[in-house]
Amino acid sequence: MSWVPVCDYHAIPPERGVCALVDGVQVAIFRTYDGGVHALDNLDPFSGAYVLSRGIVGTRKGEPTVASPLHKQVFSLVSGVCLDQDDVTVAVYRARVAGGRVEVSV
């Protein structure tokens, strides 16, 4: 497993996401209100558009989530499962903060 530096941690505002190309994969990276970072595939499986990084970050029953900006389906930032239709998932990638930089492993 290799870690790819994506951006400075403070470049992602709390409760927001950014998109980065990591080893040829569009990855949506999110910073939650508690300071955590999470990474998912940026492809919204319902619309086929690469837009999840522009979604609305929040929580559902204490679990960090993102709602697609197009059709508003909510995905867990931990498991990638769609909480509105649990047979649909998006890939989850490892994310961490090291030396003030967000790094992702795909």
Main-chain phi, psi angles of 52, to 5 degrees: -60, -30
Main-chain phi, psi angles of 14, to 5 degrees: -55, 140
Q: What is the pLDDT of residue 1?
A: 74
Look up tokens 């980065």; give the residue. 20
**pTM of the prediction?**
0.95
Domain ranges of the chain: 4-105
CB atoms under 10 Å from CB of 68, counted, come to 22
Q: What is the pLDDT of residue 2?
A: 92
- The structural architecture, per CATH, of the domain 4-105 is 3-layer Sandwich (2.102)
Residuewise pLDDT in 10s, the chain (106 residues): 799 999 999 999 999 999 999 999 999 999 999 999 999 999 999 999 999 999 999 999 999 999 999 999 999 999 999 999 999 999 999 999 999 999 999 9
